[in-house]
Structure 1
Amino acid sequence: MAEPALAHEEETSEGEHGDSTAVTPRAVRRPRRTRRLLVALAVLAAVAGAAAAGLGLGDRASDAGAKSQLPPATATVTRQTLKDSRTEDGSLGYGTSTSAVGRVPGTVTHLPETGERISRGAALYRVDDDPVVLMYGAVPAYRALRTGEEGADVKELERNLKALGYGGFTVDDSFTDATADAVKEWQDDQGLDQTGAVELGRVVFASSAVRVDALGAEEGAAIGPGQKVLSYTATAQAVTVELDTADQRLARQDSKVTVELPDGTVVDGRVSDVSTEIIPGSGPDEDPTTKVKVLVALDGTKAQRAAASYVLASVHVSFTAGEREDVLTVPVAALVALSDGGFGVQVVRGTGSAYVPVGTGLFANGRVEISGTGISAGTKVGMPA
């Protein structure tokens, strides 16, 4: 068993250092065999003391000869549910804002209102009175789409056309003549020239319906490629939390959290996105800092309804990185490093103590889960002063 090499008891049998049961100080000659045994025990005790000193145990291992030596303080092994949790401040809003930039040159003839919700097939804004249409998809529009083109963006376009009621083609990654016919029907309904090809900038792809967050242009303004027209967010409310990098373990993708709203209502949430963000220093001599940006979705109708009256608000988000039910725990400071690796605790019984190896589990709130032979609820363990 791996433990600090502490000698808990050493008998002395002659001379003025003997205990009350030892032979009296009179000169009594021991047999040679007995003397050799006593010398061997003394050498073993010296080696054990040197090993304990090498463990870095400090004053607790400095005197290896007395069983009665006890640690300066003790703690009790406790059986409990251990939870690694943390509550952080967050901002209730609509999550990450995305910019829509112009690709079709011309004059802005219509813009939506801030806060307006726009769904698939509707105009996000208009240029020269022609619509820039919102469609759903993960691949941004990056090229014109016409007969002969292939790719994920083609399939994305065809999936939207099908959802909007246009047919006669197969939803795949190939833009065929049948796709072009469907595009012409769609262009006719939108008041566009029926070319059968979708020019770059005529469609904006977003993951779902959007909420207009802010406007970056004015009606009547001339825009060119790359100019910001507006920004948008998701339509469902969400919470944004910034964590220190040391606390990143709290925010695992899709892990469940709870959110306390300003009126004290607690609703369920889920970590929907985790990203790293570098924040520049505020001055020339201040180093940039790295933060973990966490987006928390409010799951379910109940949560969304409870948050609906708050457009922007400060909230409290409770994360749980780990939980262990009905386990034995001690303060983290009770652990000592063992010479051959691993950890142990100094078990105190009566006037004596012994170092016992333990396995460790969850660390949380200054305590640690432990297990080991002879370790049970109520066991006393040594603590530093």
Structure 2
Amino acid sequence: MGARRIAGMVAGVLSAGAVAAAITVFNLPVAGESPGSAASTPVATVEIAKLTLVDRESHDGTLGHGDTTSVLSRGSGTVTGLPAEGATVTRGKAIFRLDDKPVTLLYGSLPAYRTLSTGVKGADVKQFERNLRALGYRGFTVDGTYSWATASAVRDWQDDLGLTRTGTVDPGQIVYATGAVRVDSLTAQVGTVVGPGAVVEKVTGTSPMATVRLDTSSGRLARRGATVRVTLPDGKVVPGKIIKVATFVSQGENGEADTTGIKVTIGFTSKVKSRGAAAVTVAFTAGKRPNVLAVPVAALLALAEGGYGVQIVDGSLTRVVGVETGLFADGKVEITGNGLQAGMKVAVPS
């Protein structure tokens, strides 16, 4: 998957041939000659600017909602209700129904793994009690101990759900996720008979994300926390941040060797809408040079004796100054040279 440079962006020092169309051959004056000479004022000039140059490298990506997670049935029975694909399920709502009883989504990182009943203590109890309180039930303390007061609140919760008021929580009654989920796809259908461990549906988070698969040669771009620019399907460019970097292996076909790549997940720092997978372009920062002097690439002069220069314009006087080039980006080039300062005017082709 080859990288595409944004128009005008070239990393490092360009050869004269690569920018020949933008550079005029010019002889640098011999040292000791008069520093200025009278000439007609060039048709166009620009000021030498002091700025931060950012070189970006673009890669194709996909807009979606991140990786999917499988929702498993913990019990046996017939699937009698399912949410629609693309639907959002929040805390306290049924993520599916088994034998016409809701399996309820709760928030937390610890999966349900045992029956909760009076006397049980632990982090899973505290996680469940937090959810019970968030759903509006009271009369108990969120302390990690499943007390008679917790059981009483559970009976009220079960009654509201249309379940038998047992006061205990079977792990098959609940599913935990770190937050609200979006239903990505349905694996089962209403009427499917399932057993413990059967995949009922696959879900994602609700926040849109972009993913990009990079070759290992582009691994330098994949820095967690780095900012990127994402061009959406409608052409709008929005900021993003790399939130996850993971290595993946693609199996080779027809005897070819497996290949290793890097999967980059990008979150957005502004509101982005996504209704399903769509193609995007992600511009990574490949190089950055803060507080440098820069001119448009078209201002460079390719000197006959080698190297580059710029033509300084000072009223009716002009002179050529040899320069060293640095980073090329956004149609500009970093320059250093004797006596150059921000605000000086240089000639550019009209």
TM-score, normalized by length of structure 1? 0.61
1:187 maps to what in 2?
158
Cα distance in structure 1, aligned partners of 2:91 and 2:199: 21
Q: Given the superposition, is the C-alpha separation of residues 269 and 80 from structure 1 closer, same or farther in structure 2, using an over 3 Å criterion?
A: closer
Do structure 1's residue 326 and structure 2's residue 282 form an aligned pair? Answer: no
Q: Identity rate of aligned residues, in percent?
A: 48
- Residue 217 of structure 1 aligns to a residue in which SS? coil
Amino acid at match of 2:167: G
1:46 maps to what in 2?
none
Amino acid at match of 1:287: A
Cα distance in structure 1, aligned partners of 2:328 and 2:67: 32
1:150 CA drift (Å): 2.9
Q: Does the 8 Å contact 1:85/1:250 carry over to 2?
A: no
Cα distance in structure 2, aligned partners of 1:118 and 1:290: 35
Q: Given the superposition, is the C-alpha separation of residues 143 and 227 from structure 1 closer, same or farther in structure 2, using an over 3 Å criterion?
A: same
- Aligned mate of 2:268, from 261, 279, 298: 298
1:312 maps to what in 2?
277
Amino acid at match of 2:150: T
Gaps of 5+ in 2: 1-48, 295-306, 308-325, 342-350
- Residue 183 of structure 1 aligns to a residue in which SS? helix
Amino acid at match of 2:258: P
Do structure 1's residue 265 and structure 2's residue 265 form an aligned pair? Answer: no
Gaps of 5+ in 1: 1-77, 330-346, 348-361, 379-385
- Residue 294 of structure 1 aligns to a residue in which SS? strand
Q: What per-residue deviation string (whole Å, max 9, x for no partner) do you get for residues 17-58 of structure 1?
A: xxxxxxxxxxxxxxxxxxxxxxxxxxxxxxxxxxxxxxxxxx
Q: Given the superposition, is the C-alpha separation of residues 375 and 180 from structure 1 closer, same or farther in structure 2, using an over 3 Å criterion?
A: farther
Amino acid at match of 2:204: T
Amino acid at match of 2:78: T
1:71 maps to what in 2?
none
1:203 CA drift (Å): 0.8
Cα distance in structure 2, aligned partners of 1:245 and 1:178: 56
- Aligned mate of 1:279, from 217, 233, 250: 250
Greater RCO, 1 or 2 (C-alpha within 8 Å, sep 6+): 2
1:82 CA drift (Å): 4.5
- Aligned mate of 2:259, from 289, 295, 306: 289
Cα distance in structure 2, aligned partners of 1:232 and 1:101: 11
1:101-112 equivalences in 2 (<5 Å) = 101-112=72-83
1:116 maps to what in 2?
87
1:264 CA drift (Å): 1.3
Q: Given the superposition, is the C-alpha separation of residues 164 and 289 from structure 1 closer, same or farther in structure 2, using an over 3 Å criterion?
A: same
1:172 maps to what in 2?
143
1:131 CA drift (Å): 0.4
Q: Does the 8 Å contact 1:257/1:268 carry over to 2?
A: yes
C-alpha root-mean-square deviation of aligned residues, in Å?
A: 3.1
- Aligned mate of 1:146, from 108, 117, 125: 117
Larger strand fraction of residues: 2
Cα distance in structure 2, aligned partners of 1:178 and 1:363: 68
1:364 CA drift (Å): 8.9
1:93 maps to what in 2?
64
Q: Given the superposition, is the C-alpha separation of residues 187 and 260 from structure 1 closer, same or farther in structure 2, using an over 3 Å criterion?
A: same
Cα distance in structure 1, aligned partners of 2:150 and 2:168: 9
Q: Does the 8 Å contact 2:230/2:239 carry over to 1?
A: yes
- Return 88-97 or 165-174, whichever deviates more: 165-174
Cα distance in structure 2, aligned partners of 1:322 and 1:170: 54
Bigger Cα Rg? 1
1:249 CA drift (Å): 3.4
Do structure 1's residue 161 and structure 2's residue 132 form an aligned pair? Answer: yes
1:255 maps to what in 2?
226
Aligned length: 262
Cα distance in structure 1, aligned partners of 2:340 and 2:52: 13
1:10-29 equivalences in 2 (<5 Å) = none
Amino acid at match of 2:147: T
- Aligned mate of 1:203, from 174, 187, 206: 174
- Return 189-198 or 117-126, whichever deviates more: 189-198
2:11 maps to what in 1?
none
1:206 CA drift (Å): 1.1
Amino acid at match of 1:320: T
- Aligned mate of 1:136, from 104, 107, 132: 107
1:187 CA drift (Å): 1.0
